Amino acid sequence: GAVVSQHPSWVICKSGTSVKIECRSLDFQATTMFWYRQFPKQSLMLMATSNEGSKATYEQGVEKDKFLINHASLTLSTLTVTSAHPEDSSFYICSARESAGVYEQYFGPGTRLTVT
């Protein structure tokens, strides 16, 4: 149980285009989903926290107009990287938490984004 999927697993896009990444909780309802970014040989950096049906809370330094997050249902959250640039190339990982009081986060397999 507690499986989180991400799609796509990797994507290459041209500079200036937008890319959407989906995160799904397959066998549980995720009241909270988290989006992380990880650069090579660095730790996870939390980008934003989203609760179903409400606006995402972005971490300091993360542009909300560039990284659009939609948590439309209890099983789906999407991250759209708008007007992507080469410096946005990174490993994007989502995680999901089942409900308040449950502390464990279940991670998706990650999406490797390369912007050329």
> Sign of the C-alpha dihedral, residues 43, 49, 50, 51?
positive
Position among 28, 58, 67, 106 found at the interface with other proteins (CB under 8 A): 106
Encoded amino acid at 54, one letter = S
Residue 110 CB, nearest approach to other proteins (Å) = 5
Asked if 113 and 88 count as a contact pair (C-beta separation under 8 A), the reply is yes
Position among 13, 44, 62, 74 found at the interface with other proteins (CB under 8 A): 44
- Which is closer to other proteins, CB of 65 or CB of 104? 104
- Which is closer to other proteins, CB of 53 or CB of 109? 109
Q: How many CB atoms lie within 10 A of CB 86?
A: 9
Q: How many CB atoms lie within 10 A of CB 1?
A: 7
Note whether 21 binds other proteins by CB under 8 A. no
Encoded amino acid at 27, one letter = D
- Which is closer to other proteins, CB of 15 or CB of 55? 55
Per CB under 8 A, contacts with other proteins among 82-101 are 91, 93
Kindly report whether the peptide bond that precedes residue 109 is cis, defined as omega within 30 degrees of 0. no
Kindly list the residues in this chain that would bind other proteins in the complex (CB under 8 A). Answer: 42-46, 49, 91, 93, 103-110, 112
